[in-house]
Each structure stands twice: as C-alpha cells, then as structure tokens.
Amino acid sequence: MKVKVLIMPRKGLLDPEGRAVKEMLLEEGFPVREVKVGKVVELEVEETADVKTIAEKYLVNPLVEEYQIE
C-alpha cells in the first residue's frame, strides 16, 4: 500500500519558505491568507508496516515539526 506522511513546520515556528511563497503570491495578486511549506514522504510498504513508528523515529522532528499520515 502507499502511505503519505505529511510533515509541516509547527505553528508559530519559522517557515522561511512558506513566508517567501506567501509574499510572492501576494505580490502577484493572489490574496492568500497563509502559506506553509512542508515535506511529504510517500512510502510503499506492506499492509502491516508500522508507519507511525517510521514517521516518529526517522522522519519527523517533533520539536519543530508535526505530521499526519494519509
């Protein structure tokens, strides 16, 4: 099965890429309210794979990132 782990910067933490994209889109006339840039890790694994452990142990830094599995 394919599983996506979406990893975003925690609210309130520095997200320079998100800020840059937001400013650029505003300058281009798109009235965006907020932009965050994160990472997505797409895993192709067995049904039984422990994706939560993979995410928490190897992919996500909980100090500065939060994640969700899709």
Give the binding site for a copy of itself (CB under 8 A): 4, 6-8, 18, 21, 24-25, 28, 30-46, 49-50, 54, 58-59
Whichever of 44 and 62 has its CB closer to a copy of itself, that residue is 44
Do the beta carbons of residue 4 and residue 67 sit within 8 Å?
A: no
Whichever of 16 and 31 has its CB closer to a copy of itself, that residue is 31
Element (H, E) at 22: helix 16-27
Of 16, 1, 15, which is closest to residue 48 (Cα–Cα)?
1
Min CB(63)–a copy of itself separation in Å: 19
Whichever of 24 and 64 has its CB closer to a copy of itself, that residue is 24
Q: Is residue 33 helix, strand or coil?
A: coil
Specify the length of the chain in residues. 70
Min CB(62)–a copy of itself separation in Å: 17
